């Protein structure tokens, strides 16, 4: 079987971008970047606090509890971090909350606040699901940052970073380019797979198109690019939608892989278990999508375990089918290698601090683009191979159709092919646009040639005459060997004197053929019977009339042309 590797230029570009992404994501970490997740003091108001309320006493140990219906306060002192407080940006990777208020407190006792709310991030949103708060520039030294989250779904799902403005701009640019590249490739893959689904009439590219479309929408909403068009979807609504889309995408990807494998190469139990796990991911995603409080982290852990189960199930299915010789399994193995690595790694490795803040989401987005384009390229090769086979079959069918209508000895049409080729000429004749006539030719004393020189010599004579007659083949003249030593020409556009001269030229042209190699010196002549068609004539009637004229030509001495003249056949001696 042929090896599967990214021959498509788009896949090569994606492979290069993925390699560049991995290299820069792990090696180009900013020295001034600070991760705040585990260095914050917290306070909790179990009910929503008024805007002017002061925070409860802060605790710097343990985890906050009871904040989902109220307010969670987080505070950090910036003078302990290697970040210039005069050039500081706080980046919060948004999660599910109603409102976030960030207060910057300075040495002169003044506190300046910025806030966003679900549905209104204003100018604070950034590509990659981030919200940026820039510390106001003041002469007084910045001491601390206090964040207040109202009705936050989960504190453990928060990600916060501090860095300089310059580094933040560089990371935002790099992340925007990466997201745009991945989304563009997903869009191309979705459109192409949709086209393949309709052209091939197969479920596999349709499943893949649905997966690519789902990942395209998910990537657009996660990266917050949709806020250019619908800014009111900022915050919790986008986060919840992304949860639903990610679960649905995992399910569709698993279904596309398993459903593409032939049932005969895959144990039914393995198939059912994998599809059941994939369906369970989509089902569990429903309550997790709408959940704003309760055991969100526990549900997320269960979902992660289910996704791992799906990955293992798909891997087992592909491996089993591969060993059974499935070409589809080999194709999917290459397509699923990177997504499996990406989804598996985010379960065990903390990728949230890499890829310029894009973290695991950006890794999954590129893995999805890889899978989509890989399978699109594989489907293209399959489609091209099927098209080639189809074209070959059509050519073979056309060739067989043509051979069935050709005389194998002379290459001229046989009676069946002659009748079919002449049919349009009868239609033109019935309309009165062009006259039509049939010339029947019979080789004179052909039996004597066979008896004297043998059948091989007779065949050579037939071929020579056939080659001569073939010269008259064209749009206005169709020629054939009807059988034995009988040939025919159906001529359009000539009647009367012109037809008479043409028939005589045919007779003389055949008489001039050289048969020395077959029978030695001496001419071989033909007798010709000619019948002109009327508007009501069909092939059977016209043939009968031409045959009567041919009989007259034979009876009256051969080597001559005779025209059919109704009941009394007239003739013209050659």
Rounded (5°) CA angle 178-181-186: 125
DSSP 130: E
Q: How is residue 216 written in tokens?
A: 């395209």
Q: CA–CA separation, 17 vs 182, rounded Å?
A: 9
Token pair of 272 as six digits? 């059912």
Which pairs with CB-CB distance under 8 Å and at least 24 residues apart come from 382-385? 383/196, 383/199, 383/200
- Tell me the helix, strand and coil percentages in the chain, rounded to 5: 55, 15, 30
Nearest by Cα to 162 from 78, 60, 40, 224? 78
Indicate if 485 belongs to the active site: yes
User: Which pair of tokens denotes residue 282?
Assistant: 């989509």
Q: Locate tokens 């003078």: which residue?
A: 79
Question: What is the longest distance spanned by two Cα atoms in the chain?
Answer: 134
- Catalytic residue selected from 485, 517, 541, 556: 485
Q: DSSP string spanning 9-52?
A: HHHHHHHHHHHHHHHHHHH---TT-EE-TTS-EEEEESSPPPTT
DSSP-derived secondary structure for 409-439 = TT-SB-HHHHHHHHHHHHHHHHTTSS-EEEE
Task: Show which residues are catalytic.
Answer: 485
């Amino acid at each position: 079987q042929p090896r599967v590797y990214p021959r498509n230029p788009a896949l090569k570009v994606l492979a290069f971008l993925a390699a560049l992404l991995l290299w820069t994501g792990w090696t180009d970490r900013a020295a001034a970047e600070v991760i705040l997740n585990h260095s914050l003091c917290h306070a909790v108001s179990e009910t929503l606090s008024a805007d002017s309320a002061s925070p409860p006493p802060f605790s710097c140990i343990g985890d906050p509890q009871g904040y989902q219906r109220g307010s969670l306060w987080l505070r950090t002192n910036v003078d302990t971090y290697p970040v210039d407080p005069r050039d500081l940006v706080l980046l919060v990777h948004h999660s599910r909350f109603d409102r976030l208020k960030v207060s910057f407190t300075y040495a002169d006792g003044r506190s300046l606040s910025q806030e966003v709310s679900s549905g209104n991030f204003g100018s604070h949103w950034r590509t990659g699901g981030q919200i940026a708060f820039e510390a106001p520039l003041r002469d007084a030294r910045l001491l601390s940052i206090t964040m207040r989250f109202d009705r936050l779904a989960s504190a453990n799902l928060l990600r916060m970073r501090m860095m300089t403005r310059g580094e933040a701009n560089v990371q935002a640019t790099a992340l925007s380019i990466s997201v745009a590249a991945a989304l563009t490739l997903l869009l191309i893959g979705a459109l192409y797979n949709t086209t393949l689904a309709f052209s091939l009439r197969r479920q596999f590219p349709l499943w893949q198109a649905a997966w690519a479309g789902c990942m395209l929408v998910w990537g657009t909403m996660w990266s917050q690019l949709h806020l250019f068009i619908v800014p009111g979807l900022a915050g919790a609504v986008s986060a919840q939608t992304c949860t639903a889309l990610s679960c649905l995408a995992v399910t569709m990807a698993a279904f596309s892989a398993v459903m593409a494998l032939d049932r005969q190469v895959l144990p039914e139990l393995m198939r059912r278990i994998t599809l059941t796990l994939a369906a369970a991911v989509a089902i569990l995603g429903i309550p997790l999508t709408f959940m704003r409080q309760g055991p969100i982290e526990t549900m997320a852990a269960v979902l992660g375990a289910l996704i791992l189960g799906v990955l293992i199930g798909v891997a087992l299915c592909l491996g089993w089918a591969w060993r059974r010789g499935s070409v589809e399994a080999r194709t999917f193995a290459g397509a699923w290698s990177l997504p499996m690595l990406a989804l598996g790694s985010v379960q065990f490795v903390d990728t949230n601090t890499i890829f310029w803040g894009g973290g695991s989401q950006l890794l999954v987005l590129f893995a999805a683009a890889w899978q989509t384009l890989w399978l699109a390229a594989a489907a293209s090769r399959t489609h091209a191979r099927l098209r080639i086979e189809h074209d070959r079959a059509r050519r073979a069918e056309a060739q067989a159709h043509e051979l069935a209508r050709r005389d194998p000895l002379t290459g001229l049409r046989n009676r069946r092919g002659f009748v079919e080729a002449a049919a349009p000429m009868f239609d033109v004749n019935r309309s009165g646009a062009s006259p039509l006539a049939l010339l029947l030719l019979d080789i004179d004393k052909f039996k004597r040639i066979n008896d004297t020189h043998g059948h091989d010599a007779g065949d050579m004579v037939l071929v020579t005459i056939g080659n001569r007659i073939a010269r008259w083949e064209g749009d206005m003249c169709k020629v054939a060997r009807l059988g034995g030593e009988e040939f025919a020409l159906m001529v359009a556009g000539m009647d009367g004197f012109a037809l008479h001269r043409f028939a005589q030229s045919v007779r003389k042209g055949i008489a001039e053929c050289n048969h020395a190699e077959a029978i030695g010196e001496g001419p071989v002549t033909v007798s010709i019977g000619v019948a002109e068609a009327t508007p009501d004539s069909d092939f059977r009637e016209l043939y009968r009339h031409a045959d009567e004229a041919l009989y007259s030509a034979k009876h009256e001495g051969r080597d001559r042309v005779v025209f059919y003249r109704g009941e009394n056949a007239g003739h013209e001696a050659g």
